[in-house]
Chains A and B, each alone.
Chain A
Amino acid sequence: MDKKVNVKICIGTLCYVMGGSELQLLEEHLNDDLKKRVSIEGTTCLDYCHNEDNGKPPFASVNGKCIQRASITKIINQIKKELE
């Protein structure tokens, strides 16, 4: 069976105001093939923001891997890596 990728988008206040709100559009940017293999969900604060080593918000996680300064392009690149 094809590998599945789980994407979590932080909708905590900080990530949201730092641009996380746009990440909710992720699904619209996925091609049909990726859409079938990716599940997208919202999440409350992932706690990445309380440790500077994690980088800057907004955060998302792809299969549990932290993405800092997340953008739709960055998330899609990570999804593709996961599927390799």
Chain B
Amino acid sequence: MKSTDKWFIEVDSFQHSKHNMHVCGDVFLSRKVKDQNRVVAILSDGLGSGIKANVLATMTASMALNFTLENQPILRTAETILNTLPVCGERKIAYATFTIIDIDYDGETRIVEYGNPSCLIFRGNKIFKPEWKSISINTKDTQDKTMYLTSFVSCKEDRIITYSDGISQSGIGTKLMPFGWGNNEIEHFAKDQIRKNENISARSIAKSMVMQAWKNDISEPKDDTTCGVIYFRSPRKMLLLSGPPFNSENDLKLADIIDKFPGKKVICGGTTSQIVARVLNRDITVGLGFNALGLPPESSIKGVDLVTEGILTIGKVSEILENSTGEDIKPSSPAHKLVMMLLKSDEIDFLIGTRVNNAHQDPSLPVELEIRRSVVKKIIKLLEEKYLKKINLEFI
């Protein structure tokens, strides 16, 4: 996995349903395949809106995703999808668009588009236009069935922005943009977003595009609007230390690792923070006060971004990660703060001391204190599978 060190591929999306629709008829799916060093993202827009469109788009997106992961030839994938989709009762056609973006971690990128607006590719804040090849698909229908293909090698600071036609056609019929927002204006808008903040996250761009389309339609979108963004950027690293080393000879090593770590640093555990403070000869300031979850208050050590209590806090972290979608988390407790930091990072190193605090195993304790190692494993599983983070785990 050495090659992944050079960048992190951030994939995120944002969407808004057509006015008065509870379900969005566009679907954006993405998957990171660790053992193939690969990221595949799909955008599909189903015919019509509401549940019917969502079913078409979900079928299309999942077929496109799985066929691509199985390395099926693209023509076969497209034909299978179009021949499988159920025929719409009103319009007597089976239709859903798709964009397939298939990226190797070394940057080799292939994009296939069918029916969606052409995606925007930015190299830094300049637009990059690779050559596109067209291929026609053979199906029974007579309408235009042309796919567009391109492949190129991505660089760091590249962004690929794909969106559904609800965005390019937003504002249609309004005085300001009688023919809709249009691809040229969208390109300018995206460029502007990147110019204003060159490190803007994938999600922020996607959200700003969808919200602008929403404004264009005077807050009543006439179609489902979705934007998916892929961003090749430097990984945001974080180190989480929890638990005293099994052998106290490793105390020095532990403190040295945290001292030299390039990125955000967190310590969970009173004893662990005492060890670090002692070895690095720094003071621990312990706060007093109550927080939303009734957790022990946080402390602070110079050079460490967050210092919390151990097992109770990480237990709550695991609960929050499990029960939330990662949005709208407020720093109302040390556990919430830690979750926010975890979700803002791409690569997280867990350095877990395995010495067990015997006092915690007393059966007369009013609460059950879990073993650190098992809670941490649960957190890691959630971060990898639900939040697509890259995790390194080491026991000390």
Contacts and interface: CB of A to CB of B under 8 A. Distances in A.
Contacts of A43: 286
A82 interface: no
A40 interface: yes
B271 to A, nearest CB: 6
B321 to A, nearest CB: 20
Interface stretch (B220-228, B251-259, B365-373, B387-395): B365-373
Interface residues of A, number: 19
A13 B312 contact: yes
Contacts of A11: 270, 286, 288, 296-297, 309
Nearest to A8: B286
Nearest to A42: B286
Prevailing SS type, chain A contact patch: mixed
Interface residues of B, number: 25
Contacts of A72: none
A45 B299 contact: no
Instruction: Rank and list the top 6 A-B pairs by shortest CB-CB distance, nearest first.
Output: A42-B286, A44-B270, A42-B288, A11-B296, A16-B296, A12-B270
Contact of A24 (B271, B290, B299, B365): B290
A44 B271 contact: yes
Contacts of B366: 17-18
Nearest to A23: B288
A44 B309 CA distance: 9
A13 B309 contact: yes
Interface string B278-301: 000000101111100010110100
A13 B270 contact: yes
Nearest to B288: A42
Interface string B296-337: 110100000000011110000000000000000000000000
5 contacts: A11-B288, A12-B270, A16-B309, A44-B271, A45-B274
B369 A41 contact: no
B359 interface: yes
Contacts of B289: 24
